[in-house]
Amino acid sequence: MIDRDPVLSILDSPFARKLSAFVRLSHSDLAVMSDVYRRRRSFAVGVDMIHQGQTDQSAYVLASGWACSYKILPGGTRQIVDFQVPGDFLGLRSVLFRTSDHNVEPITPVQASEVKQRDLLAAFTATPRLATAVLWAASRDEAMVVEHLVDLGRRTASERMAHFLLELGARLRLVGMADRAGFACPLSQYLLADALGLSAVHVNRVLRELREDGLVTFQKGRVVFDDYEALVEFTAFDRAYLDHEGPLLI
Amino acid sequence: MIDRDPVLSILDSPFARKLSAFVRLSHSDLAVMSDVYRRRRSFAVGVDMIHQGQTDQSAYVLASGWACSYKILPGGTRQIVDFQVPGDFLGLRSVLFRTSDHNVEPITPVQASEVKQRDLLAAFTATPRLATAVLWAASRDEAMVVEHLVDLGRRTASERMAHFLLELGARLRLVGMADRAGFACPLSQYLLADALGLSAVHVNRVLRELREDGLVTFQKGRVVFDDYEALVEFTAFDRAYLDHEGPLLI
DNA sequence: GCGCCGGATTGATCCGCGTCAGGATCGGGG
DNA sequence: CCCCGATCCTGACGCGGATCAATCCGGCGC
């Protein structure tokens, strides 16, 4: 980096990249952000970062690595509600509210900045623009959950998979971790199965089908969009819910 | 009512009943609430109250009648995301954010109080306690959407149905429209199908099965819990997500 | 180099649920 | 009173996806 201003270096973070896509952040916004961003923690794969029912949680901003939030059912199966990628907020609700109603677990080794509740609220007061951006991101997450619900309720396995990969691509592009061609993806077929409400075996078959149809290829930890337009067409992917307008509040 | 204070009469409303279950509302809270509550509107069955992509919406508080929010898929099918019953907020997100990403449609004739964005924000500033209560309700709604997602992803048709009816019962009890025995329910089997990701035919079969197993009976617009405990057991219903702690913010 | 283990891959079989098709019932309007 | 539309109900059949069971592959510890 040529910048000598340490505050500006925060612009390299996925979090700042993502929020910048929505609001123009001032130098003082960035200063507050880099302050909040300072308390780094590492998490190993498979150890819950946030646990269901636990109180007085911190929230985190994912700096690197992937995580997933999920609920366990009696019977051992689980449903993954959402994946988190760098730049995503994580556990925001468990800070605003007292308890978390689901678990969050790292999929790869994770680096995340811990955000204490009081720091977050202080930052919100100091820089309303930052608060606006964070709320915008939160509302986008909620829209994704709704779309995921539609996936499970009314789309076939292949449509689900195609839709999921397109959405993931769009999210990663926002933080510079993907382009139209594809992206690196650490998700196993078991994880895909738990997210899409399928069995791992069927996930495999669906991926083969999409590959043989020349739409997407997901192999060796890499997703390649072989025919982006056809894929969008196939699953009736509508970007609208991802880049909706921002919040008016605050 | 023996009360002579007109403000206190708002306590009869489902909205106040619901929020009272969470916070103790002061007389001035009630005054603000009854003020916000004043602008009544009626809606006929089948005419969208909130339309996807529409901007500058109002929000509503349901006073009487039932509604549902849903998304349409190309192909004509739809997925119902949630039902709204009296006391529920409706379109809160489309006020906080600029556009709505789904439709809301009355299922029965509906009476609702229109809440303008500026009135809502003003009320929030005037009575933080009211804001707290509203945010609590919103977070509860979100938890229900997540639980609904788990339904579609990982529960069988009968478990889904059982879970859905139990949840609905719990919600209605909060506003005095149900007891442990059951409740009046205007939902057709087509609506249930669109919500649970099933075909109407299969909804019918599942209802018969639950009835013959002596768990619930849903006939002639009335849901009767024949064996509440067994039903809870059957679907592993966990009330925790419905009566979680309230928000800390504001 | 060998054994082990988690993930990917594939085939065979089974069953939950969708689809199609037809009745029955009921309330409302002409 | 009769017709019509909406809703409920039921049977026959087929398909999508689960389940069970192998096999294969690459990475890693020793």
Q: Convert the pLDDT of each residue in B156-210 to its tens digit.
A: 999 999 999 999 999 999 999 999 899 999 999 999 999 999 999 999 999 999 9
**Interatomic CA distance for residues B153 and A207, integer angstroms:** 19
- Quickly tell me which residue has 């089908």 as its tokens: A209
Mean pLDDT over B22-30 rounds to: 85
Predicted confidence at residue A177, as pLDDT, reads 95
Mean pLDDT over A65-73 rounds to: 94
**Interatomic CA distance for residues A232 and A229, integer angstroms:** 5
pLDDT digits (tens, 9 = 90+) for A4-61: 677 777 878 899 998 888 888 888 888 888 888 888 999 999 888 988 877 766 889 9
Predicted confidence at residue A225, as pLDDT, reads 97
Question: Which of B74, B101, B248 shows the shortest C-beta gap to A117?
Answer: B248
CB contact under 8 A, B247 and A96: yes
Who wins on pLDDT, B110 or A241? Answer: B110
- Quickly tell me which residue has 């199966």 as its tokens: A77
Predicted confidence at residue B4, as pLDDT, reads 63
Left if phi > 0, otherwise alpha if psi is -120 to 50, otherwise beta: which for A128?
alpha
Predicted confidence at residue A235, as pLDDT, reads 92
Q: Residue B41's closest CA among B81, B97, B90, B82?
A: B90
**Interatomic CA distance for residues A74 and A54, integer angstroms:** 19
What three-state secondary structure class fits B224? strand
Give nucleotides in strand C with any atom < 7 A to a protein C-beta.
6-12, 16-21
Domain boundaries, chain A: 140-242
pLDDT digits (tens, 9 = 90+) for A148-181: 999 999 999 999 999 999 999 999 999 999 998 9
What three-state secondary structure class fits B83? strand
**Interatomic CA distance for residues A68 and A176, integer angstroms:** 20
Is the predicted pLDDT of residue A246 greater than 80, yes or no?
Answer: no
Nucleotide nearest A206, from its CA to each C1' = D17
Mean pLDDT over A207-213 rounds to: 96
- Using CB atoms within 10 Å of the CB of residue A84, give its burial: 0 to 12 exposed, 13 to 18 middle, 19+ buried: buried
Reading the block at residue A235, the tokens are 């699953």
pLDDT digits (tens, 9 = 90+) for A111-130: 999 988 888 878 888 887 88
Within 50-89 of B, beta carbons closer than 8 Å to A belong to: 53, 55, 71, 73-75, 77-79, 81
Q: Which amino acid is at B1?
A: M
Alpha helices in B27-178 (DSSP H): 27-36, 92-96, 117-126, 128-154, 157-174
Share above pLDDT 90 across residues of chain A, in percent, rounded to a whole number: 54
> For an interface test with A, which of B52, B120, B154, B233 has the most A Cβ atoms less than 10 Å from its Cβ?
B154
Within 217-236 of B, beta carbons closer than 8 Å to A belong to: 236
> For an interface test with B, which of A97, A139, A191, A233 has the most B Cβ atoms less than 10 Å from its Cβ?
A97
**Interatomic CA distance for residues B211 and B88, integer angstroms:** 29
CB contact under 8 A, B96 and A135: yes
By the 8 A CB rule, do A69 and A30 touch? no
- pLDDT tier at A62 (50, 70, 90 boundaries)? very high
By the 8 A CB rule, do B221 and B185 touch? yes
Q: The dihedral of CA A37, A42, A43, A45: what is its sign? A: positive
- Quickly tell me which residue has 């790292």 as its tokens: A106
Which CATH number applies to A140-242?
A: 1.10.10.10
Predicted confidence at residue B63, as pLDDT, reads 92
Phi, psi of A26 (to 5 degrees): -80, 170
Predicted confidence at residue B250, as pLDDT, reads 43
Angle at B108 between CA B103 and CA B112, to 5 degrees: 70
What three-state secondary structure class fits A156? coil
- Quickly tell me which residue has 């939902």 as its tokens: B187
Phi, psi of B80 (to 5 degrees): -80, 125
Predicted confidence at residue A96, as pLDDT, reads 67
* Average pLDDT of chain A, as a whole number: 88
What three-state secondary structure class fits A105? strand
